[in-house]
Amino acid sequence: MRRPALYSSSPPRADATGAAIVDAPSVATAPSGALPARRAKRWLPRASDPRVLWLAIGLLALSLLLVIGLLLRPANRKLTQEDIDAAVLKTLETNTLPSAAAKAYEVIAPSVVRVVSYEIGVNGRDEIETGVGTGVVIVDKGIILTNLHVVNGAELIKVVFADGMESKATIKSVQPENDLAVLQAHKIPDDMIAATMRSTHDLMPGDQVVAVGFPFGIGPSASSGVVSGLKRSFRSPEGKQEMTNLIQFDAAANPGNSGGPLVTMDGQVVGIVTAILNPSHQRTFIGIGFAVPIENAASAVGLHPF
């Protein structure tokens, strides 16, 4: 086998006789591990080396700067009531918040329906509108409260839900002494939302209320006011009926509001709008409306939630 040539970095030396002297490799005679030790010492600076001094000074300065930075860093300040008040005030100044009445309307609106009564023409096909009122869904199966005088004598009743769906409805029960009728819609929206009813036992004059309905067929419309009184009596203009234990309120109501909900600022129903005091023949609102307490209205459906 051919062997590769070996090269030396210097020519061989000769002795006195002219014979070449071949030096044994220094590695062979050196103690084990000697060469790495000499190389390590070559790279380690001595203690008297100025670089060591400057390195120590640099490390000391860096440590000192870190300590000073930690000492000067401000501590986390706790929020005070003044900070919270200032933030709230800033929010109120820069944002327009919805009114309490707007919030109440938003809650009740999905449960309010338009109620239209019809009579059938002599040909048996024509539907002649005879009255428009309001209703409120109190059970999500399509059970609706309204005024009896809105649907009394109707040959056909239709309701229109908040999403625009129209359905025929039939009278399920009546409560003439409180001018109430319970309707059952034949079809309902998939996401039907029933109103929440609230007891009137803690209702007081001066409490804010909102009336929602279809005055003169326009709506749904909202008007706000306050409870003016409790346990009021009202006699119909014809003098045929007198109702008692009514809620008096001053939120605007007109023909078409009948059967609509009277709600508190949390959107919960406390009464069913049933009448307005109107000594003239103009049928306009003069500031006094009446609603049947929801306890009476719920009993018309057989509900006793309170």
Q: List, in order, residues 6 or more apart from 185 with CB less than 8 Å away.
A: 113, 142, 143, 144, 159, 161, 167, 168, 169
The single-letter code of the amino acid at 182 is V
Nearest of 197, 105, 191 to residue 145 by alpha carbon? 197
Q: Verify whether residue 281 is a known catalytic residue.
A: no
Question: Out of 117, 167, 223, 258, which one is annotated catalytic?
Answer: 258
Backbone angles phi and psi of 242, in degrees to 5: -125, 130
H or E element at residue 294: helix 294-301
Backbone angles phi and psi of 27, in degrees to 5: -65, -35
Token pair listed for 304: 């006793």
**Integer Cα distance of 222 and 267 in angstroms:** 12
**Integer Cα distance of 228 and 271 in angstroms:** 13
**Integer Cα distance of 184 and 167 in angstroms:** 10
| CA-based radius of gyration for the chain | 47
Question: Out of 111, 179, 223, 224, which one is annotated catalytic?
Answer: 179
In this structure, the number of other CB atoms found within 10 A of the CB of residue 151 comes to 25
Question: Out of 117, 149, 224, 250, which one is annotated catalytic?
Answer: 149
Contact between 228 and 288 under an 8 Å Cβ cutoff? The reply is yes
Nearest of 255, 270, 259, 276 to residue 159 by alpha carbon? 259
Q: Verify whether residue 149 is a known catalytic residue.
A: yes
Q: Verify whether residue 99 is a known catalytic residue.
A: no
- Which residues are tagged catalytic? 149, 179, 258
